[in-house]
Structure 1
């Protein structure tokens, strides 16, 4: 798990003077980078020509972050399925969750293709103490997925 301390800045605000909903995802990216660096994955990725892409994410808001409010972005790896890695990020004030995002990301090669998990874990070691991904997370990933890049995905409203 990783944690970074941030402050809500004037450039983070929307017209209602609280943290803009789109800003959370950018700030949670900082937590993801912190986690990549803390775990050594960032160095392994650079050495091997790998990069991560987010394939889906869902954010849930509970309370608003106000101007100059200090908060922590807490980040943790929560598991994987056959294709992707899952992380969770939280905006936390004094131990209380204000917002949470669930992220599904894939590890790709700059030369093309996906990095299989066995290769990823051989480079880093299999993380210990990570519980099985909860069933609802698999349901969420399936329900929010778009067709693969080589399959048609017409924009048709029903």
Structure 2
């Protein structure tokens, strides 16, 4: 009984203090993508990740909580990058990836128990990051309920080298869509403003 109590207490603490399902699902999904799902050889091919709105995903309005979208997108993106081999290529170069920016646009709510899929696609890359689009598509009627743009930075390597390792040759990035260019300009403008604010703060401390 003592061991069972400790086990139940540990499980309760795991789910109460941490996002337990995320920490359980992520490694399981990555292992499943690596060893069970077929490899996707086309880097730019769209991949689908199936899911459903559960009780734990709901907010007070009884639809999927806005905070759940980036979490589910994170899972789908990890599966995507595992299946196409980018994770392995980046690790082979001694690097890793970090999420540098994301933006979500909501078009329609996902309701309780509604099945949906996340369609993830690599749009292109620059000298520092890969750009991906992730669409939340209702499986009831095919409506695109939300769209995420993601900037996934490569640390310790470069996207160009990772693609070269993956493809065995140098590959140029496709032209990024117009909305990605506008989004990048917003990020750059925001960075300039924040750096300027930091410089002013440092100057005021010096005086």
- TM (normalized to structure 2)? 0.64
Q: Which has the higher helix share?
A: 2
In structure 1, the partner of 2:94 is 49
In structure 1, the partner of 2:158 is 116
Of 63-72 and 136-145, more deviation after overlay is shown by 136-145
Answer whether contact 2:89 2:166 (CA < 8 A) is retained.
yes
Per the alignment, in what secondary structure is the counterpart of residue 69 of structure 2?
Answer: helix
Per the alignment, in what secondary structure is the counterpart of residue 63 of structure 1?
Answer: coil
Structure of higher CA gyration radius: 2
Supply the distance in 1 between the matched residues of 2:175 and 2:117 (Cα, whole angstroms).
26
Q: Which has the higher strand share?
A: 1
CA RMSD of aligned residues (A): 2.8
User: Cα–Cα, structure 1 residues 46 and 80, in superposed 2: closer, same or farther, change >3 Å?
Assistant: closer
Compute the displacement of 1:123 (Å): 1.0
Structure 1: stretches of 5+ with no match in the other structure: 110-114
Q: Which has the higher contact order (CA 8 A, sep 6+)?
A: 1
Structure 2: stretches of 5+ with no match in the other structure: 1-45, 202-207
Supply the distance in 2 between the matched residues of 1:118 and 1:17 (Cα, whole angstroms).
44
